[in-house]
Structure 1
Amino acid sequence: MVMSLRLQMNNITKMSRNQKGFTLVESLLVLSVFMILSLITAFSLQPQHDVLEDRVFISQLSADLLYAQQYAISHQKEVSILIVPSQYKYYMFASAAGTPIVERNYSTNIYLTEGSLPLNFNFLRDGNVNKFGSFYIQTKKNNYRITFLIGEGRFYVTEL
């Protein structure tokens, strides 16, 4: 039993002496290839980031406008929407002196401008808007128009 244990120990020490690792040059070569592939991937993802930023903003603004409309209907209160492009923010108020029900910052890559609709309007108690028309959104990649229709407070977003 002791003899077989010694033979196993000798075999283990021989195996560990015969093993060879990677040289420093081989390791650096693999690391440099990995870094080059990572950089190429990172630079190719930047345009996708801009497109996703546009989509997320349009989606979030649409959801917030629908929320403000539903809030006006369910609480029977007029909801004011105020867009402040210089601060890259928009607010939604349920009352003139109250705190906003929605306060949202958006990216400095997105610019909102007035069209036939000013950047402050209201959803009335029945869900209609007090003014109708369009305002514009300009991003790095695309331009959009948000149009509010007469009656029912419906709106839609179109890419220009």
Structure 2
Amino acid sequence: MFNNQKAFTLIEALLALTITGIIYLLSAPTFIKLYDHMKLNQATSVLQSDLHYVREYNMMPIQGSTLSIRIFHKQNYYVIIQNNSKIKIKRQFPPGISIPSVSANTTDLTFNNLGHVSNGKTITIQSEHFKKNIVFSIGTGGIDIREAN
């Protein structure tokens, strides 16, 4: 009666489901690291945009008004400050993203009217699996983002 049936048996269906599960389990850590890397890239990109905004704002000929960025390392956020007092923008880093500091609770970044940073430094921004260094060059005002080892 059922001699010519063309269908999956229960064993074949379970075997296909098992193989699919194994492939998923092997690829899940890769997706977690990919998401972590994307989150770090996004946070770095937003910070870089804000740094360029502050730099270009300070290069415009507006008398008596300057912007600076103050990074609060332990609280995991930074603010853009006008004339060292008024907070214009406050940005919280996404969960899992941090800017560790060994020596200070805060870091101030200021650019002069030529676009040069007040003092050269390197800031590390990190996620659970990846790190990036933001390097500020003295004399050129350059902001260089590099993958950290």
- TM-score, with normalisation over the residues of structure 2? 0.68
Name the counterpart of 1:93: 81
Amino acid at match of 1:27: A
Pairwise CA distance, 1:24: 2.6
Kept in 1, the 8 Å contact 2:40–2:97? The answer is: no
- Is the deviation greater in 27-36 or in 40-49? 40-49
Q: Which runs of 5+ in 1 are unaligned?
A: 1-17
- Is the deviation greater in 36-45 or in 69-78? 69-78
Residues matched between the structures, number: 138
In structure 2, C-alpha distance between the alignment counterparts of 1:51 and 1:126, rounded to whole Å: 34
Kept in 2, the 8 Å contact 1:88–1:108? The answer is: no
In structure 2, C-alpha distance between the alignment counterparts of 1:75 and 1:106, rounded to whole Å: 34
- Choose which of 39, 59, 64 in structure 1 pairs with 2:45: 59
How much identity, in percent, do the aligned residues show?
22
Residues 35-74 of structure 1 aligned to structure 2 (within 5 Å): 35-74=21-60
In structure 1, C-alpha distance between the alignment counterparts of 2:91 and 2:132, rounded to whole Å: 23
Aligned to 1:127, the other structure's residue is in SS state coil
Name the counterpart of 2:133: 144
Pairwise CA distance, 1:85: 1.0
**Divergent runs of 4+, >4 A:** none
In structure 2, C-alpha distance between the alignment counterparts of 1:99 and 1:147, rounded to whole Å: 23
Pairwise CA distance, 1:99: 3.2
In structure 1, C-alpha distance between the alignment counterparts of 2:72 and 2:96, rounded to whole Å: 12
Structure possessing the higher relative contact order (Cα contacts under 8 Å, 6 or more residues apart): 2
Q: CA RMSD in A?
A: 3.1
Amino acid at match of 1:99: K
In structure 1, C-alpha distance between the alignment counterparts of 2:41 and 2:19, rounded to whole Å: 34
Amino acid at match of 2:138: L
- TM-score, with normalisation over the residues of structure 1? 0.65
In structure 1, C-alpha distance between the alignment counterparts of 2:31 and 2:61, rounded to whole Å: 44
Residues 6-155 of structure 1 aligned to structure 2 (within 5 Å): 20-74=6-60, 76=62, 77-95=65-83, 96-100=85-89, 103-113=91-101, 119-129=107-117, 131-137=118-124, 139=126, 140-142=129-131, 144-150=133-139, 153-155=141-143
Kept in 2, the 8 Å contact 1:114–1:135? The answer is: no
- In our comparison, the structure showing a higher alpha carbon Rg is 1
In structure 2, C-alpha distance between the alignment counterparts of 1:45 and 1:141, rounded to whole Å: 14
